[in-house]
Amino acid sequence: MLRPWNLLLKKRVNIDLDGPRYLQIAHGLIHEIERGRLLPGEYLPSSRDLAETLKVNRKTIVTAYEELIAQGWLASVGTRGTRVSTSLPEGDATNAPHLSAKSTGVSAETEYPFLPAPDRLLAIPAGKWRKLDEGVADGRLFPADLLARAYRKAAEGASRANALHYRDPRGSPRLRQEIASMLRRQRGLMVGAENICITRGSQMGVFLTARILIRPGDAVLVERLTYEPAVAAFRACGAKIVTVGLDEDGVDVADVERACRKHRVRAIFVTPHHQFPTTVSMRPERRLRLLELARQFAFAIIEDDYDHEFHFGAQPLLPMASYAPARVIYAGSMSKLLVPALRIGYIAAAPKVVDALAYQISLIDGMGNTVTEEAAAELLESGEVRRHVRKTAQIYARRRDAFARNLDSEMHRLIDYRLPDGGLAFWLQFKDMAALDRLEQRAPEIGLSFASSQSYAAEEGTERGLRIGFASLTEEEAKEVLQALRRCAEP
């Protein structure tokens, strides 16, 4: 005698979702078994009865049953019907995970621990937003046909050379050679291809560097205002974050020395060319003192030179990596040179460090993107990158000046700022923190998204401000944005 069907399956199985109905029914039955509402050996209704209950074709139920029998969830018992397999352990409905009414078959909760995301995510919120960046290139300025030709040539060349397969995780040999050549000519780094590791953006490079340097409990020094994703990467590797001072001449090296005498310092993260977020440049005497402290206390300097090419006054100082390569791990990016979506960064370091980074890449990626890397190498080798930088540097200089004029006309009563000598962003300091609070509270209501003023602070109580990129905005767009920010900030 068949056991009575004591579940209201119509309420248990959601067949209004996308996808084959038989799979939705099969998933619903699996969940009932996992929850303990269908026990091992319990008989299911006939395919005809269940089809009538769920208002579907009988063939759909037959297919669902056959799928579950094949997977081992159900067993056919000849003329007696279909039942839950007796080889399954009994479930426990009282400990079953809660599923929302809109469940797609995947629980909203888990029965295992994991590291959750922080309250403030490092991403743009969902929905339609106008994103104010923190200083990126205008992707509209790079000719799409040049990029397309470079990709086509790269793909064809890689195919002819049988290079569309797994390869060296350090990156494309051609691109590594081209980047090394660029760093020698333009930034004074005496490096070769053996010193270069290609990454998918400079942030990946910083994270991989943290992986090979840091052990849980090691101290990493950062300026009190700094780049939040880098801090997050260090913390993810178990670092103890120690903040040091910052002023108009860059990092406070006396503070660095005090921190080194108090903590076991493994590394310091700096952006000396255009400090992130304040845009100030580290003075030569401080660079030399920082390098001496690195030698004395045996820590690494992670130098993120994210926008070296964009300077509007005097010739920029050479990177610290150019005159102390044994103490500096140098991170750079081609995304700022070309288009943000071209996810190519690089690390310049000693060959053994490059090998260690490549091993970490092999664990998470296996290899980079051969076609994209070869396309970037083509653009470097042909001189298109150099020509593009020369052209856009003039455009960005004009946009910087226009942005400053618009700041003066729209927000002079609300903010103080200094005209950046280089880089692609302004650091805005508010005269009244209440105005900044109003701006951050109201901006989402009009669809504006930007990094929180809290995101730059490496410790509680640090002064707040906003870093707003100007390079990706035309003069008209910038004026419109600043007018919107002013309206949000005003009482």
Residues 345 and 428 in one domain: no
Token pair listed for 62: 């037959």
User: Who has greater pLDDT, 443 or 37?
Assistant: 443
Q: Is 244 exposed, middle or buried (0-12, 13-18, 19+ CB in 10 A)?
A: buried
Token pair listed for 403: 């942005």
Among 114-123, 294-303, 442-451, name the most confident range.
294-303
Q: Answer whether residue 104 is part of any domain.
A: no
Give the start-end residues of each E strand in 260-392.
Answer: 265-270, 300-304, 328-333, 345-348
Give dist(CA 478, CA 469) in Å, integer.
10
Provide the 8-state DSSP code for 90.
Answer: P
Q: Is 480 exposed, middle or buried (0-12, 13-18, 19+ CB in 10 A)?
A: middle
Query: pLDDT-derived band of residue 5, with 50, 70 and 90 as boundaries?
Result: very low
CA distances to 116, 234, 271, 303, 455 from 238, in Å: 15, 7, 22, 20, 20
Q: Give yes or no for a contact between 213 and 193, defined as CB atoms under 8 angstroms apart.
A: no
Domain boundary among 382, 400, 435: 382
Among 14-28, 234-248, 354-368, 376-390, name the most confident range.
234-248
pLDDT tens-place string over residues 320-379? 999 999 999 999 998 877 787 888 999 999 999 999 999 999 998 877 788 899 999 999
Q: Answer whether residue 113 is part of any domain.
A: no
Is residue 319 left, alpha or beta, with left meaning phi > 0 and alpha meaning psi from -120 to 50? beta
Which of 65, 68, 70, 18 lies closest to 46 in space, CA to CA?
65
Query: pLDDT-derived band of residue 92, with 50, 70 and 90 as boundaries?
Result: low
- Other CB atoms within a 10 A radius of the CB of residue 245 amount to 15
Q: List b or e across 439-459, with b for residues whose CB sees 16 or more CB atoms inside 10 angstroms.
A: bbebbeeeebbbbebebbbbe
Domain boundary among 382, 410, 428: 382
Domain boundary among 349, 382, 415: 382
Q: Degrees (nearest 5) of the Cα angle 316, 386, 369?
A: 105
Tell me: pLDDT of 402 over 90. yes
Q: Degrees (nearest 5) of the Cα angle 33, 38, 40?
A: 85
pLDDT of residue 227: 95
**Strand 345-348 to strand 415-416: parallel, antiparallel, or no bridges (unpaired)?**
unpaired
Q: 429 — phi, psi (to 5°)?
A: -110, 125
User: Who has greater pLDDT, 255 or 338?
Assistant: 255
Q: What CATH number is given to the structural domain containing 407?
A: 3.90.1150.10
pLDDT of residue 35: 77
Token pair listed for 56: 């579907």
Q: Answer whether residue 474 is part of any domain.
A: yes
Residues 272 and 418 in one domain: no
pLDDT of residue 131: 82
Q: Answer whether residue 105 is part of any domain.
A: no
Q: How far apart are the first and last CA of the chain?
A: 77
Domain extent at residue 23: 9-95
Query: pLDDT-derived band of residue 395, with 50, 70 and 90 as boundaries?
Result: very high
Give dist(CA 162, CA 165) in Å, integer.
7
Q: Answer whether residue 107 is part of any domain.
A: no
How many separate domains does the chain show? 3
Which of 44, 103, 116, 49 lies closest to 74 in space, CA to CA?
44
The residue type of 341 is: A
Q: Answer whether residue 64 is part of any domain.
A: yes
Residues 306 and 195 in one domain: yes
Q: Give yes or no for a contact between 335 and 342, defined as CB atoms under 8 angstroms apart.
A: yes
Give dist(CA 111, CA 131) in Å, integer.
36
Residues 295 and 192 in one domain: yes
CA distances to 9, 90, 105 from 109, in Å: 22, 21, 12
Q: Give yes or no for a contact between 139 and 458, defined as CB atoms under 8 angstroms apart.
A: no
CA distances to 181, 260, 431 from 157, in Å: 21, 51, 57
Taking residues 399-417, what's their average pLDDT? 95
Q: Answer whether residue 110 is part of any domain.
A: no
pLDDT of residue 302: 97
CA distances to 62, 85, 186, 280 from 308, in Å: 65, 65, 9, 13
Q: Give yes or no for a contact between 271 and 328, defined as CB atoms under 8 angstroms apart.
A: no
Residues 165 and 79 in one domain: no
Q: Give yes or no for a contact between 472 and 136, defined as CB atoms under 8 angstroms apart.
A: yes
Provide the 8-state DSSP code for 311.
Answer: B
Q: Give yes or no for a contact between 253 and 290, defined as CB atoms under 8 angstroms apart.
A: yes
Q: Give yes or no for a contact between 191 and 180, defined as CB atoms under 8 angstroms apart.
A: yes
pLDDT of residue 17: 60
Q: Give yes or no for a contact between 256 and 234, defined as CB atoms under 8 angstroms apart.
A: no
Tell me: pLDDT of 73 over 50. yes
Taking residues 165-177, what's their average pLDDT? 88
Place of tokens 């100030």: 280
Token pair listed for 471: 């390079």
Percent of the chain with pLDDT over 90: 60
Q: Give yes or no for a contact between 269 and 234, defined as CB atoms under 8 angstroms apart.
A: yes
Q: Which residues contact 391 (CB under 8 A, 6 or more apart)?
A: 141
Give dist(CA 36, CA 41) in Å, integer.
12
Which of 134, 204, 165 lies closest to 344 in space, CA to CA?
204
pLDDT of residue 3: 43
Residue 245, SS3? coil
Place of tokens 């700094």: 226
pTM, two decimal places: 0.81
Residues 260 and 408 in one domain: no
Residues 418 and 378 in one domain: no
Percent of the chain with pLDDT over 70: 90
Residues 246 and 377 in one domain: yes
Residues 462 and 362 in one domain: no
Give dist(CA 357, CA 196) in Å, integer.
10
Q: Answer whether residue 21 is part of any domain.
A: yes
Residues 215 and 353 in one domain: yes
Q: What CATH number is given to the structural domain containing 85?
A: 1.10.10.10
pLDDT of residue 97: 45
pLDDT of residue 126: 55
Q: What CATH number is given to the structural domain containing 179?
A: 3.40.640.10
Average pLDDT, the chain: 87
pLDDT of residue 120: 63
Q: Give yes or no for a contact between 132 and 449, defined as CB atoms under 8 angstroms apart.
A: yes
pLDDT of residue 129: 67
Give dist(CA 32, CA 303) in Å, integer.
55
Residues 339 and 414 in one domain: no
Residues 399 and 351 in one domain: no
